[in-house]
Structure 1
Amino acid sequence: MNIENFKEIIPPFFWVKHENSCSICLSDLNFQSQIFQSRVDESVEGNGYDWASLASIYVDKQLPEIG
């Protein structure tokens, strides 16, 4: 993967570089909220673990070659 294009291929997520690490953040706080609402009976709340799972699924679908 060409890191130069990374910013263009990950929306609605965005990359934040820190001194010794990086973060992937979500710009649209309502992104896919219907998924969480439809899975309340499975204890899905929309917390950080749920967002991490959603981000993983998103990346797997958009960039399967890095999965």
Structure 2
Amino acid sequence: MSEEKKPSLEETFAEIETIIEKLESGELDLDESFAFYETGMKKLKHCNEEIDRVEKKMLCLNEQGELEEF
């Protein structure tokens, strides 16, 4: 079983930009607009989760057991 590679943040942001361009074009019908909006929101959620994960990795415990930024 092969593991599916997750797209990078840069790739996901590029996909979101494409979705925004399509939504702003005014050429989509209502159903298409909703579908693109939903896809875009899922991609934004993925980006937020990935950024949160990276931020948590960058926190370190100091000698007193408190978290501080790396």
TM-score (norm 1): 0.34
Q: Counting strand residues as a fraction of each chain, which structure ranks higher?
A: 1
TM-score (norm 2): 0.33
Larger radius of gyration: 2
Q: Counting helix residues as a fraction of each chain, which structure ranks higher?
A: 2
Relative contact order higher in (CA < 8 Å, ≥ 6 apart): 2
